[in-house]
Amino acid sequence: PLYDALFDMMDMERANRLIDRGDIEIAPLAFMRGRTLNDSFVILDEAQNATAEQMKMFLTRLGFHSKAVVTGDITQIDLPSDRVSGLIEVRNILQDIAGIEFVYFDERDVVRHRLVQEIIKAYDRHSVASAHPGSPRKGEHLGKGQHSDSKAARSSSPPKGSWGQSH
């Protein structure tokens, strides 16, 4: 998916040239240990599958004149059930630190087939009904009021969907 997204933004020849020059580096999370990333824009994608320890290691690599964006979807965690997602934990730890922002997306931000929005809504209704048996389902939606273009995105309600961290 990473290369697909890169090639959506630029042609393959240009992307390969930037990779060859070292302007773009694609590296596994495990290769970040011990590095300091100065003058960089760093993206940790699919961070819902990073452990708490991996998340801390990644975030502490940030050097001077750099920004980091962490993306993930907490509804798609593939970690073993005894492991805590670093994406969930980091919000609880860093939510009050100046210079760190959390942005939440919901079905209105879907840029895939129109049915994907309906699928997300249906799963959200099911999650709410499962968590609160007997409660009304009409109009309920996880992440309601949280939208990517809203200051409410820094609310204290549970994270839904993707989020970004910048410094």
Distance CA 54, CA 60 (A): 10
Pair 42, 118 in one domain: no
Pair 121, 62 in one domain: no
Q: Please report, in tens digits, the pLDDT of each residue of the chain (167 residues total).
A: 788 989 999 999 999 999 999 999 999 998 999 999 999 999 999 999 999 999 999 999 999 999 999 999 998 999 999 999 999 999 999 999 999 999 998 888 888 888 998 998 899 899 888 876 554 443 333 333 333 333 333 333 444 444 443 33
Distance CA 113, CA 120 (A): 12
Distance CA 143, CA 106 (A): 7
Pair 47, 99 in one domain: yes
Give the other-Cβ count within 10 Å of 33's Cβ.
11
Pair 93, 123 in one domain: no
Measured CA distances, 93 to 85, 142, 153 (Å): 13, 22, 17
Pair 54, 42 in one domain: yes
Instruction: Output the CA torsion 162→158→155→44 (10° steps).
Output: -30
Pair 127, 57 in one domain: no
Pair 100, 114 in one domain: no
Pair 75, 51 in one domain: yes
Q: Is residue 9 part of a domain?
A: no
End-to-end CA distance of the chain: 25
Q: Is residue 1 part of a domain?
A: no
Pair 114, 96 in one domain: no
Pair 65, 136 in one domain: no
Q: Is residue 159 part of a domain?
A: no
Pair 127, 56 in one domain: no
In the chain, DSSP assigns E strands to 41-44, 67-70
Nearest to 167 by CA among 103, 86, 98, 120: 98
Pair 97, 115 in one domain: no
As given in the structure block, the two tokens for residue 60 are 């502490």
Range of the domain at 126: 110-142
Q: Is residue 50 part of a domain?
A: yes
Question: What's the total number of domains in the chain?
Answer: 2
**Based on the number of CB atoms within 10 Å of its own CB, is 154 exposed (0-12), middle (13-18) or buried (19 or more)?**
middle
